């Protein structure tokens, strides 16, 4: 892992920083260790380590505010991994050093016993030079970070943790669709998930306008794709939908204004808006979303974009429960599977933070 400037390291916990005159480029050098069913046969990048799947051994640290972490919360819930992989929930804001467990009694994670996620990173890598990012998986016994490679975490949850899936868990990675699905997810990541950041953290007018055009070309394409299919890959939910949803659910509260992605609101894109509501109203999606924490994170942490740190009161959110009408396209959320059960009491989003019923 290469060294970074102090300025970069201090701001990389947010995953981004404005560099005047430059286009935004995300640092994608993550800890590439994996947790797998058979470590001896795991295919790993050079220098990476394979860890064994073992219920109760690991803790997922995932701030609700972060879209990349929100993915892991959704997949964990859809697959029913709550009992196998516990979860730590940092608060929505952080300082230059780290995400903190300020929502927990005494400001410490009750399982790991730490105040800052940074402590888990430093327990394994004392000179860790990069940002302290979520999501991260931590080995409970040693308190050491295992991985923060967020796309691999969710893929391995789906493929390597199958013996711990709930009965009726959906197939989020159908083999017959995987090749096309990887192409779709790559497009969603580069053009939309990362595209909103490319707009928000552009360091020049030229960089911003280029990023803006690129983002809206992708959103227009997805609007067209979703006109004839209920979900990105067809009739059932896959991980591709999880990856798009976490950006869409943040679009009007944050990205439209804060990141200047303002050609249209999500509510003005008929197919994308109906699709997003369809997912939001599906167990496992909207019940992981905390709009209040989302807004606090972006508007407070990104002082370079919002120096006043004022958090907007809007937009109204009750419309997320409006009928979506996507049933007319056929299909069903879980295919041959079933919906997850109720959210564990300790993991429920406070009703005041979301329009979902209590």
Structural domain boundaries of the chain? 6-164, 176-353
Identify the band that residue 307 occupies on the pLDDT scale cut at 50, 70 and 90.
very high
Evaluate whether 70 touches 250 at the Cβ level (below 8 Å): no
**CATH match of 176-353 with 1.20.1050.10:** yes
**pLDDT, average across residues 180-201:** 98
pLDDT at 20: 73
Pick the closest to residue 164 from 84, 239, 87, 86 (CA basis): 84
Please tell me which residue, 245 or 97, carries the higher pLDDT value.
245
Evaluate whether 98 touches 118 at the Cβ level (below 8 Å): yes
Evaluate whether 72 touches 60 at the Cβ level (below 8 Å): yes
99 labelled ligand-binding: yes
The full length of the chain comes to 358
Q: Percent of the chain, pLDDT > 90?
A: 87
Q: What is the pLDDT of residues 1-33, one digit of tens each?
A: 222 222 333 333 444 667 776 777 887 789 999
**pLDDT, average across residues 214-237:** 98
Give catalytic residues, as residue numbers.
66, 197
Identify the band that residue 142 occupies on the pLDDT scale cut at 50, 70 and 90.
very high
Q: What is the pLDDT of residues 38-87, one digit of tens each?
A: 999 999 999 999 999 999 999 999 999 999 999 999 999 999 999 999 99
Core vs surface per residue 261-272: b (16+ CB within 10 A) or e: beebebbebebb
Please tell me which residue, 131 or 113, carries the higher pLDDT value.
113
**pLDDT, average across residues 218-229:** 98
pLDDT at 357: 46
| pLDDT for 135 beyond 90 | yes
The two tokens of residue 82 are 């709550």
| Entry pTM | 0.93
Q: Percent of the chain, pLDDT > 70?
A: 92
pLDDT at 26: 82
Q: E strands of the chain, at which residues?
A: 34-36, 50-52, 58-61, 86-88, 136-139, 144-147
**pLDDT, average across residues 274-286:** 97
Alpha-helical segments (H) within 139-204: 150-159, 178-188, 195-200
pLDDT at 28: 79
| pLDDT for 289 beyond 80 | yes
Pick the closest to residue 58 from 148, 166, 132, 162 (CA basis): 148
First to last CA, the chain: 45
pLDDT at 12: 38
6-164: CATH architecture: 3-Layer(aba) Sandwich (3.40)
Q: Could you give the angle at the alpha carbon of 53 between the alpha carbons of 33 and 131, nearest 5°?
A: 30
Evaluate whether 200 touches 115 at the Cβ level (below 8 Å): no
Kindly report the average pLDDT of the chain as a whole number: 92
């Amino acid at each position: 892992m290469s060294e970074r400037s102090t300025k970069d390291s201090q701001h990389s916990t947010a995953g981004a920083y404005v560099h005047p005159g430059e286009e935004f480029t995300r640092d994608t050098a993550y800890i590439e260790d994996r947790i797998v069913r058979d470590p001896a046969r795991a295919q790993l990048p050079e220098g990476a380590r394979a860890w064994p799947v073992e219920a109760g051994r690991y803790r997922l640290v995932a701030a609700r505010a972060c879209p990349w972490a929100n993915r892991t919360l959704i997949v964990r819930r859809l697959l029913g991994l709550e009992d196998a992989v516990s979860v730590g929930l940092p608060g929505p804001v952080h300082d230059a050093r780290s995400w903190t467990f300020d929502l927990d009694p005494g400001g410490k994670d009750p399982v790991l016993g730490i105040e800052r996620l940074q402590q888990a990173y430093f327990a394994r890598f004392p000179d860790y030079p990069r940002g302290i990012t979520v999501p991260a998986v931590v080995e409970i016994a040693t308190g050491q970070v295992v991985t923060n490679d967020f796309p691999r975490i969710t893929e391995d949850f789906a493929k390597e943790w199958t013996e711990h899936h709930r009965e009726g868990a959906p197939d989020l990675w159908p083999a017959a669709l995987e090749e096309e699905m990887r192409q779709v997810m790559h497009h969603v990541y580069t053009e939309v998930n990362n595209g909103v950041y490319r707009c928000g953290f552009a360091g020049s007018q030229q960089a911003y306008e280029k990023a803006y055009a690129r983002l809206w070309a992708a959103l227009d394409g997805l609007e067209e794709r979703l006109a004839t299919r209920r979900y990105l890959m067809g009739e059932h939910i896959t991980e591709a939908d999880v990856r798009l949803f976490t950006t869409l659910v943040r679009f009007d509260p944050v990205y439209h204004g804060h990141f200047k992605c303002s050609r249209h609101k999500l509510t003005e894109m008929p197919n994308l808006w109906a699709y997003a509501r369809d997912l939001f109203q599906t167990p496992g999606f909207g019940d992981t979303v905390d709009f209040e924490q989302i807004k606090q994170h972006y508007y407070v942490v990104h002082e370079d974009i919002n120096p006043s740190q004022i958090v907007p009161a809007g937009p109204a959110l009750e419309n997320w429960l409006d009928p979506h009408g996507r049933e007319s396209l056929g299909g069903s959320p879980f295919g041959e599977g079933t919906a997850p059960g109720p959210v564990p009491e300790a993991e429920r989003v406070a009703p005041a933070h979301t329009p979902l019923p209590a």
